Amino acid sequence: MDKNPVKKISLKKLFPNGFNPDNGEDTMRLNVLLQEKAAANPALNGYTIIRLDHDTAYIAPVGYETEDEVAETAQDTKVIGVDPTAQGNTTALRKIVLDLQNKNEGYTVTEFARKGIDYVAYLRQLDEKTITVRYALADALQVEPYELRLKRTPENGWHVRVLKDGFEFRASKHHARLQESIETSIGKEGWWYQAFAEQRIIIIHPGKLPTFPARVEYNSGLWDRNTVKSIYFGMKLPDRGRETGDPLALNLKSSPGILVAGETSGGKSTVINSIIYGAVMAGCVLAICDDEDKSVDFTYAQPWVMRHGYGCDGKDSIVAVLTMIMDECKRRAEIIKQEHKMNYWELDESIRKDMPPIMLICDEIAQWAAPITVPAGLAKDDPTRIAAEYEKGIHAMAFLLLRRITQKARFTGICFLFAAQSPTANNGLDPSIRTNLTSKILLGETVSDDIRKLVLKDARKAPKVPENVKADGVGKGTGVAELGGIEPAVFKGYYMDDPERDMTWADILCERLEQHVPHVCENLDDIHWTRAEIIERIPFTAFNPDDVFMEDMSDEATDDRLSVEGGFGEDGRDVADRDKPLTGAAAAAHALNVEARIAQSMASQPVAHSGLSGLDALDAAGRDAAARGL
């Protein structure tokens, strides 16, 4: 240790309106600023305030002060010799304490120590508060009151040295009891402590409960620091005694599957936008699937979407994108196998350069992958039934593809983020999918226990957004993150805007991406699917009722094979009531039943490693179904 490690901090700049060392608010604020400095400069870790005046704070490493300086001060002190054989005998020492305090009214035995060849007890006159603190700490730390040496700190907290030989502070053993004691018996809610195990010193600080600012802006030092191992999206709730929390980041390399859930207006879209920005800055290309009515949320990201990667033009386009992702997964798996590697990240950079990692964003999954119930009692050619049958088939295909992506894409450099307000099986996210989404982000300051149990691995132990954050009115955009290898944490998502330029958070992210990342497709039309391309990839979509009805209503509509033959066979084998062939839209509805059965068949079949293409499997099942006259 330096001969004189005491450092002086000028308070004039930190407190331009003046600093009052007797003002609790000022001293608490000073301590927060000191903790922030220590977080930015590790050389200051372990420094504490030892003296204050109106202009200067003096700080020194914990334990710097001498024993005399640390010892309790009192109006009067008595030193009384005791039986030396009692040393180390807790039962005997307790009896001595009781006897001495009964004989010396108003005095408290504060410690036992060797003084030369004698063994003595120190008795001091203590105020009532000090006595209360002494006994509360002894109970929390499971030591005797005379094994603690206390003194007030300049900030009106407590400096505590544990005198017991062999005492070792362990957070797992002591933290809960100590923190409860600090907030109930010693100080009040928001007070906190620092433990220095090597020196057997605990410093108790006055403070306030940690909270968030009204909004958490993206740290200027993080804009260019996103990598596949660190995709920044928010700030953790600050530790006690601080006002700034640590950045929170996803590791796409170790945990490629992400679940984002939460209540409406809870900040879900804001967090997803931050993740999109980080993924693109880290070298990913995008594929996006979203409900057509909400797809405007991701318009800004179109320049970094891969060819045919924009599934926001209707449910058919979503299924087209997902089948394309599965085919890309198969292609990459074959390359990984040929190169004798275990996963995408082990491939040589020269190979990965030509197939960058993909970030698949699937939002509002309940709108396009949840199971659909067809209304009962409707005629086969009822437009409502026909539309429902088609929607049921499309949703089933989307669900199956989502599940297979979570099972097969993880080792191929394809990352996937699935988002829904309520991630239930009825909303398209059953346990078989959620299990493979190992990074969980749950938005909302108040989330039901049922949703927490669905999303979080251990909802009972995971923290909740504190009540003081809600009471402060800064709960918007907060939530709980449970990321692989990191303790679950309360956080608040990054958000910024620029009213003067009429720019939202998405606009700001887009502006920065434009400055740093080239567009993926020169022509944005290439990210979309044409109707013909979708039908070619997924023949099932030719029976989209919207298209069929338009053809039926057209004045120029002509008879085709479907309307003439009525279904798939001239003999009408596919007609359930066997009376007459179905025609037009009704035949299309029957085809949907076939496809739904195919989807159910796919769901019950194990997927081989070599059969990654959902489209190939669907076509094969379709041919088999037709051959059997379904």
Which segments are annotated as binding site for ATP? Answer: 262-269
- Enter the tokens of residue 352: 């990965």
Dist. CA 418–CA 289, nearest whole Å = 10
Identify the residue whose tokens are 């990054």: 494
Alpha-carbon torsion 498, 503, 509, 511, what sign? negative
Dist. CA 584–CA 589, nearest whole Å = 9
Please count the other Cβ atoms lying within 10 Å of the Cβ belonging to residue 288: 27
Distances (CA, A) of 533 to 53, 155, 307, 530, 622: 76, 71, 13, 5, 19
What helix, strand, coil percent values describe the chain, rounded to 5? Answer: 40, 20, 40
For residue 201, with 0-12 CB atoms within 10 Å meaning exposed, 13-18 middle and 19 or more buried, which class applies?
A: buried
- Enter the tokens of residue 31: 């301590």
At 160, is the secondary structure helix, strand, or coil? strand
Which has the closest alpha carbon to 574: 601, 553, 549, 592? 592
Dist. CA 151–CA 158, nearest whole Å = 6
Dist. CA 287–CA 280, nearest whole Å = 11
What are the residue ranges of helices labelled H in 127-262? Answer: 128-141, 171-181
Annotated binding site: 262-269
Q: What is the CA radius of gyration of the chain?
A: 34
Give strand pairing partners of 420: 261
The crossing angle, in degrees rounded to 10, of helices 383-408 and 315-338 is 20
Please count the other Cβ atoms lying within 10 Å of the Cβ belonging to residue 484: 12
Dist. CA 489–CA 177, nearest whole Å = 21
Distances (CA, A) of 223 to 226, 245, 440: 7, 17, 23
Dist. CA 493–CA 511, nearest whole Å = 19
Dist. CA 345–CA 327, nearest whole Å = 19
Residue 59: partners with Cβ closer than 8 Å, 6 or more residues away: 6, 7, 9, 34, 44, 47, 48, 49, 50
Dist. CA 317–CA 591, nearest whole Å = 19
Dist. CA 544–CA 567, nearest whole Å = 15
Query: Which residue type is seen at 283?
Result: G
Residue 530: partners with Cβ closer than 8 Å, 6 or more residues away: none
The crossing angle, in degrees rounded to 10, of helices 128-141 and 171-181 is 150
At 490, is the secondary structure helix, strand, or coil? strand
At 258, is the secondary structure helix, strand, or coil? strand
Dist. CA 314–CA 340, nearest whole Å = 39
- Enter the tokens of residue 552: 């039926």
- The answer to whether 390 and 592 are in contact (CB under 8 A) is yes
